[in-house]
Amino acid sequence: MTFLTLQGISKRYGHFTAVEQLDLSVERGEFLSLLGPSGCGKTTTLQMIAGFVTPSVGRITLSGRDITHERPEKRGMGVVFQSYALFPHMTVAGNVGFGLEMRNMKRDERAARIAEALDLVRLNGLDARYPKELSGGQRQRVAIARALAMRPNLLLLDEPMSNLDAKLREEMHIELRAIQKRLGITTILVTHDQVEAMTMSDRIAVLHKGRIAQLSTPFDAYERPATPFASTFLGRTNTLPGEVRERNPRCAVVDVAGTTLHVPHEGRDVEGAVHVYIRPEKVRLANGDARMHGRIANRVFIGNQWLLEVDTALGKLHIAQPNFGAPPPDEGHEVGLSFTDDDLRVLTRERAHGNA
């Protein structure tokens, strides 16, 4: 049986629709991310799951039980907010054990639960400190420990790492995912950070204007985007307008600025005006095996990569070249470029407008 199911969920505020006819199933023990830009409906969806917001229409079930109109405290879920929502006048132990105390749990059992939760997030020995005495990462761990101490059947995370610096955020991605796997707790994360979603998730639901633009594994979401929005939102990509001249069982023959490309269509019914997509890291600088040539218009060094803009017959291509210890040619130099047909993706332009 599917653990959590959302069936035809919509949420309207007057004439504004925040979430529209959303269907989603989450399996027990799964880590699912709701990914999208601001205003796409991801937080509203999480709030409906938690019970803070009631759907305008639709049904939510948990382990087969209808919880659509059930009060939040009856759902057995743990929530970690972006602000952490710690009580400044309480110690770490007091914050972690607050929900347990509200349940009238006995002191000894409560102390054991607090110690267990603090051990999970590696905050042993800090139980007597106050939030103001902690770093941002430690405060976040307290918020997570507070949710875990309740032993929730579902953990909901609303952008809990957005206030952390980049290095600490990366560390917390790994740490939180390890805790989730260790406990086997079903988890839903709301985030606008693509790297965060791809690093932590079993599956990603890419949301756009209240609808799911794609639902798949992180690898498929990146390598095989189902919609133009998913293709351009999830990582950098080159978008090339073209026209389909022919379609055979394997690929679409596409004219892009006078150049013929054979693009795998993966069973999609593509015809007429299309966009061809290719990721910057799929285009490589080449010598003897160059597929085409271009001139470097700009180059930027970001440590592990060089980001290049190259003027070509297809238009301006953005290229991500790994840092091999030597810089690429200077701006103004002509270079050869290589990529394979399998590096290309194609979607109809009409579909792009339909999912905008």
List, for residues 153-201, the tens digit of each pLDDT value: 999 999 988 877 888 888 889 988 998 999 999 999 999 999 999 999 9
User: What is the per-residue pLDDT for 161?
Assistant: 84
Alpha helices in 192-317 (DSSP H): 194-200, 218-223, 228-233
Neighbouring-strand partners of residue 263:
252
> Which tens digits make up the pLDDT trace of 197-214?
999 999 999 999 999 999
Residue appearing with tokens 């999970």: 120
Question: Which DSSP helix (H) or strand (E) runs through 50?
Answer: helix 42-50
pLDDT at 37 over 70: yes
Convert the pLDDT of each residue in 116-146 to its tens digit.
Answer: 999 988 888 899 999 999 988 888 889 999 9
The answer to whether 126 touches 92, Cβ cutoff 8 Å, is yes
More reliable by pLDDT, 217 or 269: 217
pLDDT of residue 353: 38
Per the DSSP assignment, residues forming a β-bridge with 12 are 17
Residue with the bigger pLDDT between 229 and 84: it is 229
Q: What is the CA radius of gyration of the chain?
A: 24
Q: What is the pTM of this model?
A: 0.89
pLDDT classification of 293: cutoffs 50, 70, 90: very high
pLDDT at 302 over 60: yes
- Which residues 6+ apart lie within 8 Å of 352 measured at CB? 227, 228, 229, 275
Which comes out higher in pLDDT, residue 311 or 125?
311
- Residue 330 DSSP code: P
Query: Which residue segments constitute the domains of the chain, with CATH numbers given?
Result: 4-228 (3.40.50.300), 230-354 (2.40.50.100)
Burial class (CB in 10 A: 0-12, 13-18, 19+), 165: exposed
Per-residue pLDDT tens over the stretch 81-124:
888 788 999 999 999 999 888 889 899 999 999 999 999 888 88
Question: pLDDT at position 13, please?
Answer: 95
Provide φ and ψ at 97, rounded to 5°. -95, 5
Q: To the nearest whole percent, how much of the chain has pLDDT over 90?
A: 76
Give the separation between CA 97 and CA 86, rounded to whole angstroms: 12
What pLDDT is attached to residue 103? 87
- Nearest in space to 209 (alpha carbons), one of 10, 61, 7: 10
Average pLDDT, the chain: 92
Question: Cα–Cα distance between 210 and 57 in angstroms, integer?
Answer: 14
In this prediction, residue 218 has a pLDDT band, given cuts at 50, 70 and 90, of: very high
Kindly report, residue by residue over 312-346, the tens digit of the pLDDT. 999 999 999 999 999 999 999 999 999 999 999 99
Residues 53-62: tens digit of each pLDDT: 999 999 999 9
Query: Percentage of residues in the chain with pLDDT exceeding 70?
Result: 98
Would you state the pLDDT for residue 356?
31
Residue 350, pLDDT score: 53
